Structure 1
Amino acid sequence: MYKSIIVGTGPSGLTAAIYLARANMEPLVIEGPEPGGQLTTTTEVENFPGFPEGIMGPELMANMRKQAERFGAKFLSGWVNGVDLSKRPFKLQIEGQGELEAETIIVSTGASAKYLGIPGEKDNVGRGVSTCATCDGFFFRGKRIVVIGGGDSAMEEASFLTRFASEVELVHRRDELRASKIMQDRARTNDKISWSLNRTPIEVLSNGMGVTGLKVRNNETGEEETIEASGVFVAIGHTPNTGFLNGQLDMDEHGYIKTKPGSTETSVPGLFACGDVQDNKYRQAITAAGSGCMAALDCEKFLEGSITQDWSQSL
């Protein structure tokens, strides 16, 4: 029996672990197949406060984990196959570990960026392939960039990247965009954005050191074309990692966990959510860490009896 189990080890989960451990709550942190979350696939992080020269993503996550361990947080590697949230204590089924019980759960499993699954894509993540313009746009100052996607997020990423790039070419497999009219208009009036519509990406090209371009198929002619670029930004959406919850609490239409405004409380009393698993807007390491702090404080108050109301009707 644990007072609190934290599922996930990104910036939100590790921050929650630091706060709960310092409060003598002795939390157990369950690591999934990618300990540290998306930041472990990021090379240099330059926008996390406190590191004026930047810090490597894996190093930042390793430091957060050491800090949590220093205060007494315990870690367990395993895959959460399912949970029973029907009553407290909650029950969690951990692959290879059996069943665990907890008075409270903090879900910080994040959201996974969708990839195209084409050759050269995953191999070049951190070497020219990115899913976050805000995180990595600065590294492509004065360079040519490709953005893949046709929705609002792709238009937003392309527009943002024009602050740094010499040119941004937007690639979409159809000749019509899914993005809202206002977002399309904003992108189309930007002189730095060019368009390659009705083209299907088939391979990310690299010289072994970094991205050199994107190979696409012209859907009208069937011919293959090469778009030269130093960076390829994939902007086709994210998938929140909430499948293991089996719909036992309120989520939005995309699977993000709903939380009470201004808190990390969910529709299930005693279960809290922080980080990208409940944030489809900002998705930044610093906002995730901040919500991890909130989750720990909310969890502590709940265990003390300060939070007793079922907020399911107000989400």
Structure 2
Amino acid sequence: MSAYQTIIIGTGPAGLTAAIYLARANLNPLVIEGPEPGGQLTTTTEVENFPGFPEGIMGPELMDNMRKQAERFGAQFRSGWVNSVDMSERPFKLAVEGLGELTAESLIISTGASAKYLGIPGEKESVGRGVSTCATCDGFFFRGKKIIVVGGGDSAMEEAHFLTKFASEVVLVHRRGELRASKIMQDRARGNPKISWSLNRTPLEVESGPLGVTGLKVRNNETGEEETIATDGLFVAIGHTPNTRFLGGQLETDETGYLIVKPGSTETNVPGVFACGDVQDNKYRQAISAAGTGCMAALDCERFLENAEEALGV
């Protein structure tokens, strides 16, 4: 059994920033990488809104640079899948596939949230080539182009409205005839002259060519007929799922599964366990805000360990 002062679960901007800060504090954190090291940014081509890169930077390159920075100060990285965590007492016990059982005096949860996809042919293959789940990340690349937004909730209305800043036209596709979005969000979208509507349409397939997405094949649920809506980009806005299942309900969450932290901190309801990044943020979901909470989690964790040592008289 391997023992650590701090284990960070997840390697997106939040987890890597936490690793940089903790490693610089000589706490030698262990960072456990899951099957998608680097998080959602590894599926993004160019990142233009992360401060410090006036010409932009590729998402995978940004994550690789952050990892190298953490390694430079002594952070350790191991690949594995965390099957379960026992938080009933300290040290916490982690069962990690491929690594066995690990223990830690403190934990930082930065496992992020996975965007929900439609699960139709051509979709996953076109991620980063016209298919996106983040308007604020990728909207700029579709200036003057036609875009489709799929979804019927508040997030879809918000994404569609935001994308009209760049696109020549935004078509909102929803499989039902009625929207789930709040009235105020619907009214805002319906009042935008750049937004057109294609309701009661079920997405069937993402069509693409050598340069990326070219259209979305849909079925008219009223007539059963199929048609292709031409587009240069497809934004899927049907929600996110926070990656918290492995925690077994030991940490407090909101009604949608996001971890709850104490206001002004990254502390969860279990002392010594901290949460940062998209796993506790269902509002902003940006690389820079995730990195900021990663810094907060590292500082909170460092103080916790110092106070624990003082209490034990170490």
Task: Give the Å deviation of 1:306.
Answer: 7.5
2:107 corresponds to 1:110:
no
Task: Give the Å deviation of 1:97.
Answer: 1.4
Q: Is the partner of 1:156 in helix, strand or coil? A: helix
2:159 corresponds to 1:157:
yes
Q: Is the partner of 2:235 in helix, strand or coil? A: strand
Q: How does 1:12-31 map to 2 (within 5 A)?
A: 12-31=14-33
Aligned twin of 2:170: 168
Name which of 82, 87, 90 aligns with 1:85: 87
Task: Give the Å deviation of 1:14.
Answer: 0.2
Aligned twin of 1:8: 10
The residue identity in structure 2 corresponding to 1:13 is G
Residue segments in structure 2 that go unaligned for 5+ positions in a row = none
Q: Is the partner of 1:227 in helix, strand or coil? A: strand
The residue identity in structure 1 corresponding to 2:115 is A
Q: Is the partner of 1:15 in helix, strand or coil? A: helix
CA distance in 2, matches of 1:18, 1:172: 42
Deviation by residue 1:227-273 (Cα, 9 ceiling, x = unmatched): 01000000000000000000001101111000001100000000000
Deviation by residue 1:104-127 (Cα, 9 ceiling, x = unmatched): 000000000000000110000001
Name which of 181, 184, 187 aligns with 2:186: 184
Does the CA contact (< 8 Å) of 1:45 and 1:135 recur in 2? yes
CA distance in 2, matches of 1:8, 1:275: 10
CA distance in 1, matches of 2:191, 2:257: 33
- RMSD over equivalenced CA pairs, Å: 1.0
Does the CA contact (< 8 Å) of 1:301 and 1:307 recur in 2? no
CA distance in 2, matches of 1:258, 1:307: 26
Aligned twin of 1:199: 201
Task: Give the Å deviation of 1:274.
Answer: 0.1
Q: Is the partner of 1:123 in helix, strand or coil? A: helix
Aligned twin of 1:219: 221
Deviation by residue 1:119-166 (Cα, 9 ceiling, x = unmatched): 110000001000000000000000000000000000000000000000
Task: Give the Å deviation of 1:96.
Answer: 1.9
Q: Is the partner of 2:148 in helix, strand or coil? A: strand
Residue segments in structure 1 that go unaligned for 5+ positions in a row = 309-315
CA distance in 2, matches of 1:193, 1:209: 25
Q: Is the partner of 2:263 in helix, strand or coil? A: coil
Deviation by residue 1:48-96 (Cα, 9 ceiling, x = unmatched): 0000000000000000000000000000100000000000000000002
Q: Is the partner of 1:88 in helix, strand or coil? A: coil
CA distance in 1, matches of 2:209, 2:26: 51
CA distance in 2, matches of 1:99, 1:25: 20
CA distance in 2, matches of 1:220, 1:262: 50
Task: Give the Å deviation of 1:307.
Answer: 11
Aligned twin of 1:147: 149
Does the CA contact (< 8 Å) of 1:30 and 1:77 recur in 2? yes
The residue identity in structure 1 corresponding to 2:200 is N
Question: What fraction of aligned residue pairs are identical, expressed as a percent?
Answer: 81
Q: How does 1:62-77 map to 2 (within 5 A)?
A: 62-77=64-79
Aligned twin of 2:256: 254
The residue identity in structure 1 corresponding to 2:302 is E
CA distance in 2, matches of 1:170, 1:7: 36
Aligned twin of 1:245: 247
Q: Is the partner of 2:290 in helix, strand or coil? A: helix
The residue identity in structure 2 corresponding to 1:216 is V
Cα 1:225/1:307, change in 2 over 3 Å: farther
Does the CA contact (< 8 Å) of 1:215 and 1:227 recur in 2? yes
Q: Is the partner of 1:25 in helix, strand or coil? A: coil
Task: Give the Å deviation of 1:209.
Answer: 2.2
Normalised to the residue count of structure 1, the TM-score between the two structures is 0.97
Aligned twin of 1:312: none
Normalised to the residue count of structure 2, the TM-score between the two structures is 0.97
The residue identity in structure 1 corresponding to 2:130 is G
User: How many residues are matched?
Assistant: 308
Aligned twin of 2:133: 131
Aligned twin of 1:296: 298
Structure 1 stretches of 4+ moved >4 Å: none
Name which of 268, 271, 293 aligns with 2:270: 268
2:261 corresponds to 1:278:
no
